[in-house]
Structure 1
Amino acid sequence: MPTVRTPRADARANRAGILDAARTALAADPYASVDVIARSAGLSRRTLYGHFDDRDALIRELISAGAQRFNAIAESITDADCQLVLARLAARLWQEAAHVQFIAALALDEAHVQHTARALAPLRRAVADLVRRGQGDGSFRTDLAAEALARLIEEMARTVVARADASKADTENIAVRTVLSIAGLSWREADALLAAHPDIAEGVA
């Protein structure tokens, strides 16, 4: 059985440096070239290609890292109340997306959307399971099939993430409240839920 070699410390450091440089360069210019990213990392183009086959492979790595954070957020919310889970999920995912909006926008680009869908499969399953549970206990609307309602929530998130002003608090407000509205809550019910849980309402007023 062949021995699996652990990457050397300097190789791991170079790879991490490339990813950090890519985040910085792409945040400033979503069309930043491999040359720009390599220079930002203090490495040669050849060294960068030793870690990533091409620019798309580098972007996919960034998307995968971001997806892991999104999936972990979904897994970390364990409240029993489905409406509360949905509100927390919307707020936390939005806050995360606002910090790395350039990656969120790249992830939704047609060139990477299939990879993004695979990387976010745990989050999508969590949303679908939440919708089914919420419909079962009367927390969410039941005039739509669970699959359709989960898809509407996803599509709303895609639309708002793509906005250029995603880091603004009022946009987060719209995102959280719109998710609750899609699930079947009235604006008064959404107000009451956020008022009762100020940790969610912080920055969403």
Structure 2
Amino acid sequence: MTTRAPRRDAVENRAGILDAARATLANDPHASVDVIARSAGLSRRTLYGHFDDRDALVRELIANGAQRFNAIAASIDDADARIALARLAARLWQEAAHVQVAAALALDEAHVADTADALAPLRRTVADLVRRGQEAGSLRTDLPAPTVARLIEEMARTVVSRTDAASTGAQNLAVRSVLSIAGLSWREADELLTAHPELVGAEIVK
């Protein structure tokens, strides 16, 4: 039996709902389904035709963001684990700065399980980079690699949820926080970022 492709208007409605949800939740993270539907120019009934409830809509936002984050993780190929971690943090922050509301929702305790599943490839990348850095002697070895990776994740949750993405030096703060958790001193982080200014571009603050 052939599966019929979704009608074009249905696909457009679903995309419109997701766009409206991002914009609406940016102004009010607790916005209701009714508010989101009105923002999309659709009825509540139409929205429920695409999503069973508000949580299903949020999970879709998380999944979409996770795909982009996982793709970034897959693109990191620096041999030096320190540089790879810094580059990963910088690129993820740039992406999170554009979708910070979705990122904050994803990192909220209510959705942490969904996020963990969706971001499994990214989490594996971080753990692998930490392990590789430990083996090379460039990252801290006083804690097991999975523990360091988890600490980096917890720090990222705090930075994303509590930092204004548009503020000066926000990206620099995110990168330096990752390097600090990974075991670099502030002087070592300075040296690394000075030697590789492309990691955080114009945001390097001396």
Do both proteins adopt the same fold according to a TM-score greater than 0.5, normalized to the shorter chain?
yes
CA RMSD of aligned residues (A): 1.3
Give unmatched runs, 5+ long, in structure 2: none
| Distance (whole Å) between structure 2 residues aligned to residue 106 and residue 39 of structure 1 | 21
The residue that corresponds to 2:135 in the other structure is 136
1:87 is aligned to 86
Q: Judge conservation of contact 2:171–2:200 (CA < 8 Å) in 1.
A: no
Write the distance in 2 (CA, Å) between the matches of 1:6 and 1:139.
51
Tell me, in whole angstroms, the C-alpha distance in 2 between the residues paired with 1:71 and 1:54.
26
Question: Is the 8 Å Cα contact of residues 169 and 204 (structure 1) preserved in structure 2?
Answer: no
Equivalent residue pairs, number? 204
Q: Take 2:95 and 2:204, find their aligned partners in 1: how far apart are those partners?
A: 14
Corresponding position of 1:54? 53
User: Which has the higher mean CA deviation after the structures are superposed, 58-67 or 157-166?
Assistant: 157-166
Whether contact under 8 Å (1:83, 1:140) holds in the other structure is yes
Q: What letter matches 2:117 in structure 1? A: R
Q: What is aligned with 1:105?
A: 104
- Could you tell me whether the CA contact under 8 Å between 1:160 and 1:166 is conserved in 2? no
Report SS of the residue matched to 2:13: helix
Q: Secondary structure at the match of 1:133?
A: helix
Alpha-carbon distance in 2 for matches of 1:131, 1:137: 10
Report the equivalent of 1:31: 30
**1: CA distance between counterparts of 2:204 and 2:11?**
39
Letter in 1 for 2:113: Q
Please tell me whether residue 154 in structure 1 is matched to residue 153 in structure 2. Answer: yes
Residue identity in the other structure for 2:85 = L
Partner of 2:64: 65
1:186 Cα offset (Å): 1.8
Gaps of 5+ in 1: none
| TM-score after normalising by structure 1 | 0.94
TM-score (norm 2): 0.94
Give the equivalent residue in structure 2 for 1:42: 41
Q: Which residue in the other structure is 1:179 paired with?
A: 178
- Superposition deviation, residue 164 in structure 1: 4.6
Partner of 1:8: 7
